[in-house]
Structures are given as C-alpha cells and as structure tokens.
Amino acid sequence: MTTPVEAFLRDYHDRNPAAASELAGAGRLVGDDRTVYEAFAEYVGEPRRVLDLGCGDGSLLAVLAARGAETLAGIDLSPGHVRRALVTPALAGADVRTGRAQKLPFGDDGFDAVVSFMALMLMTDVEQVVAETARVLAPGGTFAIGVGGPGEGALAVFPKIARPLFAVIPEERRVPSGGDPRTRTREGLDRLLGPAGFAPVDWHELLLDVSGPPEQVWQTCHDTYYQIDSLDETQVAGLRTAFMVATRDLLTADGVLPAKARVNVAVTRLS
C-alpha cells in the first residue's frame, strides 16, 4: 500500500525527474573535485552486483558502473525517474523498476552491495526495508547509506528562517512527514541494522562546497527542502527575500555566498 509520503515523493519526482541528480552534482567535495556520488562510491568499493534503493534517475548506478559493477539494479517510487534511468546509455541492460523498497522484486543473495543515497531516511516501515536488504544481499555484502547532515554557512541559515514558515502551513497543504529518525544517526542505524545481521556501521562525513552567487545558493536551498512545495508563490518570494537579508553579511568581497552541505555515509556488512 502506498503511504501519503510515498505518494508525494512519487508525484514530486515525476514533476521534477532531474532534480535529485542535479542537486547531487551541484557542488564538489571540500578539498577535492569529486561529486558527492563519486565520493560516496569510494565507500561502496567495487562490487560486481549492486542494487540502489531509491535509485532516482540512475546517476549513482552509472558511477558504480564506471567503477566496474556489471550487474546493475535499482528501484524507485517515481516512474519518471525510472524512465530516465532506462534511457541512460551507461545503464544499458540495468534492471531498474518502479516499486517500493519494502518489497523488493529481486531474488535472495543476488547482490554484493546495496546502496541507498538520501532515500532510506525518507522511507516508512524501515525495519521491512532492512529485512529485504538483508535478504537480497549475499553474505558479507555491503550496505552503504547516505543521509543528510547539518549544513554550514548559508545552508545553516536557511532552515532557521524556513522552519517557522513551514510550521504554520495549514495541515491540508503540508508535505506529508515520513522517515524514521533512527536512519539519520550512527547509533540509530546500529539499533536498526544489528537485529537483521549487520555489523556496526562505519561512519564517514562528506562536506560539499556549494558556494556561489546568492541566487544560485538560494536555488540550492529551494531545491533541497520538499516542504517548499507546500508554499504559494507569495510565500516563496517572501522566504527568498528573508534568506537574502539574513545571509548578506556572509557575502565575500567578490560576491560569493559561502555554503557547505553535509552528507554522512554509513557503511556496514552483512554477517
């Protein structure tokens, strides 16, 4: 059964099928020139068979294919995402399907790695997702999870001014809430994953530089928060103005607005 938050995510990404991969490609690792997908892939290793839960348009799978993965599979709620993935040359022959991670249409022990980038943290019935992941992973297989963390600079300012506005949106217009808080912390993931046979997670932090002109950074913030979809044009314009005012003292002499995004990577293995 599709939950309200799943219906929202499906419809949102059908309307914006390139949004997730464009956002992932917007910055580069601090002190590095890799994208976040390239940096995340380093922690996955070089599996031969890989499944992506919440695969989006397949951009992460394409990175893993370039690292040597031969059997590629993905599942996503959005038919628009899946259509984009299926016409991506790098994913020729990949098994990418529309569906829910709570009921995976794949056989037992079929993958050396399962990945989920910024998706597990949005899922409901997450114990079932973990059970299904353990089922399709071969013994010793890797489970790599990317979850958002607190930003810096302008990305720390934005939520402070946006959340009070989100809080007063009428109930009927609010974006449905979802996800399990255990998926967002190292300790929570250990509590969640351990009973399914996974080892304690290794925890890594990626810091991405998304600094740029104020309008560019505003757009990054705008595209990061699903809740903005519940605002009308006047509210979005007001939020933009408040953001520009609140961050103007951060501007450098050459007009760059400092902004850094944080992604935490949890990596575990199935015993």
DSSP string, 53-87: ET-TTSHHHHHHHHTT--EEEEEES-HHHHHHHHT
Classified as helix, coil or strand, 190 is helix
Q: How many angstroms separate the CA atoms of 212 and 255, rounded? A: 8
Q: Which residues contact 95 (CB under 8 A, 6 or more apart)?
A: 71, 72, 73, 74, 106
Q: Is 107 domain-assigned?
A: yes
Q: Do the Cβ atoms of 51 and 114 come closer than 8 Å?
A: yes
Residue 135 CA, chain-centre distance (Å), reads: 23
pLDDT in tens, the chain (271 residues): 789 999 999 999 999 998 889 888 889 999 998 999 999 999 999 999 999 999 999 999 999 999 999 999 999 999 999 999 999 999 999 999 999 999 999 999 999 999 999 999 999 999 999 999 999 999 999 999 999 999 999 999 999 999 999 999 999 999 998 899 999 999 999 999 999 999 999 999 999 999 999 999 999 999 999 999 999 999 999 999 999 999 999 999 999 999 999 999 999 999 9
Q: Do the Cβ atoms of 62 and 91 come closer than 8 Å?
A: yes
Query: How is residue 37 written in tokens?
Result: 């997908």
Q: Render the burial of 240-257: b for 16+ CB within 10 Å, e for the rest.
A: bebbbeebeebeeeeeeb
Domain holding 87, by residue range, is: 4-151+177-208+263-270
Residue 9 CA, chain-centre distance (Å), reads: 12
Side-chain half-sphere exposure of 60, counting CA atoms within 13 A: 34
**Residue 161's pLDDT is what?**
97
**Residue 101's pLDDT is what?**
97
Q: Is 61 domain-assigned?
A: yes
DSSP secondary structure code for residue 30 in this structure: T
Q: Is 238 domain-assigned?
A: no
Q: How many angstroms separate the CA atoms of 87 and 57, rounded? A: 10
Q: Is 80 domain-assigned?
A: yes
Q: How many angstroms separate the CA atoms of 178 and 227, rounded? A: 12
| Tally of domains in the chain | 1
**Residue 23's pLDDT is what?**
87
Q: Is 95 domain-assigned?
A: yes
**Residue 1's pLDDT is what?**
73
The predicted model scores a pTM of 0.95
**Residue 19's pLDDT is what?**
87
Distances from the Cα of 186 to the Cα of 110, 149, 163, 175, 182, angstroms: 26, 12, 25, 26, 8
Q: Is 225 domain-assigned?
A: no
> Which CATH number goes with the domain that contains 38?
3.40.50.150
Q: Is 233 domain-assigned?
A: no
